[in-house]
Amino acid sequence: MDREELLALDNSEIAKMLNDLIADGKSKDEACAELELTAADLTKQNIFWVKDKFLARAWSGYTSTKRSGNEYAQAGDGWRGEDVKDFKGREVPW
């Protein structure tokens, strides 16, 4: 498999291949070199080195599950109803 075919794969498949090389005793740099991947390639594919293994993120950007505070209901017939509280438990003023 050449480099173009490798980069055409899903990022979870690439991460699995890299983790298989890590399991065989290779270092992070050796695994990347064997598959001819650079740090820029990994970043474009959303593959990151976390706690001694490669992780593939499903999408780029902000992926936090923590509430941001932008979850307020709309005024009037809001999509969450009338008795809505914000992420800190305060009543949302109408």
What are the tens digits of pLDDT across the range 54-68? 998 866 555 556 665
With cut-offs at 50, 70 and 90, classify the pLDDT of residue 88. Answer: confident
What count of Cα atoms within 13 Å lies in the side-chain half-sphere of residue 51?
1
Helix (H) or strand (E) holding 48: strand 47-50
Please state which of the ranges 4-13, 21-30, 55-64 shows the lowest mean pLDDT.
55-64
Mean pLDDT across 35-57: 89
The DSSP code for 91 is B
pTM of the model: 0.60
Mean pLDDT across 37-41: 90
